[in-house]
Amino acid sequence: MISNSHVDDEDLKRKREASSVSEVDSSVNETPKVDKQKKKKPKQKSAAMQSEKVKHPEDDNDVVTHMKIINKKLEKLDSSMISVNKRLDNVIFKGDGTLHKTIKDLFAEMKDDLLKSVVKNIEVLEGRLFEKEQEIDKLKTQSQVLETDIKNQKEMNENLLKELKQIDMNRQKYENESEQYSRSNNIKIKGIADTNLRETARQSAELVISVLRAHNVCQITMADINIAHRLPNKDNKNRDIIVSLISRQKKFDIIANRKQLKGTDIFINEDMTKLNLHVLMCVKKKMPDVTNSAWFMNGKIFYKNHMDKHQTVKFEDYEHWTNLLMYAPHLGAFLC
């Protein structure tokens, strides 16, 4: 009985050892599979990292966005390593833990490679950014130079416009003075009866001589008159007579004695240019509170102010007078 019992114990022991060995074998056999799977996953992750490393933004200007992408990759890598470490902790290790160390070394190497790639990309981006900054500084300098040139050109244009305006004003002044000088021997007589539409120049001259003698304005003869004729108007009625005298002194005598015609409907005036006549009318009518009277003499316009002082209207002031608004008391407003 004892021998049989001993034999049974030995058999049971062998069965247990066999079972233990089979369990160990199965554990050993299963562990490499897990290791192989773990090894495959890092390779897949390495391939993914390498593909992501190749793909980088081509837009040099969007550096900030590129850096954010890199940071996200690093965070993803750290997260993956933490996950792998957790899984490795659950694996049954045999021996001295060589597999665990190998996997950690592999991930460390992958991380170093990725970091080197990131650092290299950062250096490249920094170099490009530096080049762009240099280009921007160069463009800023060029822009400042162009702005200075534009400013100088603008000042030159303004000065040229002022010069052109002054030249044009001088031209108008000389033209007006020249035209007025050509009329310096002329007088215009208004109010002499106009009864003959076919009146000749001689007939006009005879009428002028008759009127001036009759009112003791001036004793002139036909020899004092260069030419005399009627000036056409819109209706060809009551036409004025323009008289060109031989002597300017005769003209001054007539102008000085034209007051003899006071109370009649006959008026004698100097022959003025259109511009001078327009300005004279503006001086007379547009500032009644400033000017008491205005007249034209020897090619110039004069007026008497409210202090009875004589003032000369300069050509430079013509624009001022013509641009004034005319006061209309019956309308209570200023009109052009």
Mean pLDDT of the chain: 79
Percentage, residues of the chain above pLDDT 90: 46
Say how far apart CA 281 and CA 291 lie, in whole Å.
12
Q: Do residues 44 and 106 touch, judged by C-beta distance below 8 A?
A: no
Query: Which residue from 307, 256, 305, 267 is spatially nearest to 283, judged by alpha carbons?
Result: 305
Average pLDDT over residues 273-291: 87
9 or 200, which is more confident: 200
Question: Which pLDDT value is given to residue 11?
Answer: 54
Question: Which pLDDT value is given to residue 234?
Answer: 86
Say how far apart CA 245 and CA 183 lie, in whole Å.
10
- For the question of whether the overall pTM of this predicted structure is more than 0.75, the answer is no
Question: Which pLDDT value is given to residue 325?
Answer: 62
Which ranges of 197-273 does DSSP label H, i.e. alpha helix? Answer: 201-214, 248-256
Average pLDDT over residues 114-134: 89
What pLDDT, in 10s, does the model give residues 51-70?
444 444 455 556 677 777 87
274 to 106, 111, 182, 314: CA distances (angstroms): 104, 96, 13, 16
- The β-bridge partners of 268 are 189
Inter-axis angle of helices 98-182 and 274-285, to 10 degrees? 100
Q: Quick one: tokens of 220?
A: 């002139």
259 or 336, which is more confident: 259
Centre a 10 Å sphere on the Cβ of residue 205 and count the other Cβ atoms it contains: 22
Q: Do residues 291 and 304 touch, judged by C-beta distance below 8 A?
A: yes
* CATH 3.30.70.1820, the chain: domain bounds: 185-271
CATH of domain 185-271: 3.30.70.1820
Percentage, residues of the chain above pLDDT 70: 74
Q: To which H or E segment does residue 72 belong?
A: helix 63-89
Question: Which pLDDT value is given to residue 43?
Answer: 46
